[in-house]
Structure 1
Amino acid sequence: MKQVRIVAVGRIKTPHWLAAIDFYRKRIATPMRLDEKVVKDADPSLPMAKRLEKEAERLEALCRFGEETVVCLDERGKNMTSPAFAAWLTTLWDADRPPVFIIGGAFGIGPSLKAKTTHSLSFGAMTLPHELARVVLYEQLYRAESILSGSGYHHE
């Protein structure tokens, strides 16, 4: 079975983001085993660099670097089309190196963790709120599955 893990900072609190994630998660559930772990945001009174460091430690503890392809979501990462993303996921699954996508908090992903990741992926040059980035990731996973299965959701 195809596996994908998502490791993110902060639980989603806004109802419309929760609804959007639930919408795509339900559609992904059958063709793909999806696991999401959430770590607590660091103390907001800490300086930004210290917050990033604390959150990076929490995220890193949930990654299996020797077994998975660790991918951080970052606006400076690689851009892919949806069909290229679907093809890339297939190569990871075929190589038995399932992806784990890391989504940072309000300030992104700490540099120590970024340096350890296998890949960096961007959904565009603009900065997205981390909650919206999670929605976009779920939608793109659903889209990738629809491309691979030929369901017709994706149009070229």
Structure 2
Amino acid sequence: MRGIRIIQVGKVRKGFCREALGHYLQKITPYIQVQLVTVKDARNGDRHQKMETEARAILDRLTPQDLLVVLDEQGKAMTSRKFSARLQAWDEDPGRRPCFVVGGAWGLSDTVRSKADQLMGLGPMTLPHELAAVVLLEQIYRAQTILHGHPYHH
């Protein structure tokens, strides 16, 4: 696989989340390159204005190569094995690479959702955005171990 991009809104402020992100990034490295891109969270305006400011920052960082997978509570959840198969299928498209978007505290605007190639859910519960990034990285790691026959997923 050519790699994965993750665009997240806002710095990870919680120490335990920073530690977990580092842990999974280190575990993923032997399998695949993950580029973590952080866009600044909006501080001014109402909720809608903040989400639109963040949307512009996200969309400005996309490339034509990015296959946009937006994490969203309305997105389709899948098993770890199905996610693994999906990553493998995306890898077979030489002109695209998966680019996951994790919204900020206010969520994501319809502007970002409308550009998505896929809306993906991590489950029916709402997660803090910092924790959602950790869960995403753990699932990317798990998917890679499934693809490589490693016993992590048993």
Q: Which amino acid aligns with 1:42?
A: A
Count of paired positions: 153
What residue number does 1:78 align with?
A: 76
* RMSD, matched Cα: 0.9
Q: Which consecutive residues of structure 2, in runs of 5 or more, have no partner in the other structure?
A: none
Match of 2:33, SS state, is strand
Q: TM-score, structure 2 length as denominator?
A: 0.96
What residue number does 1:30 align with?
A: 30
Q: Deviations over 1:66-108 (max 9, x none)?
A: 3221010011101110000000000101112210000110011
Structure 2 residue corresponding to 1:88, chosen from 73, 83, 86? 86
**In structure 2, what is the Cα distance between the partners aligned to 1:112 and 1:98?**
21
Cα deviation, residue 2, structure 1:
3.5
What residue number does 1:126 align with?
A: 125
Q: Which consecutive residues of structure 1, in runs of 5 or more, have no partner in the other structure?
A: none
What residue number does 2:57 align with?
A: 58
Identity %: 38
**In structure 2, what is the Cα distance between the partners aligned to 1:68 and 1:91?**
14
Match of 2:50, SS state, is helix
Runs (4 or more) in structure 1 with deviation over 2 Å come to: none
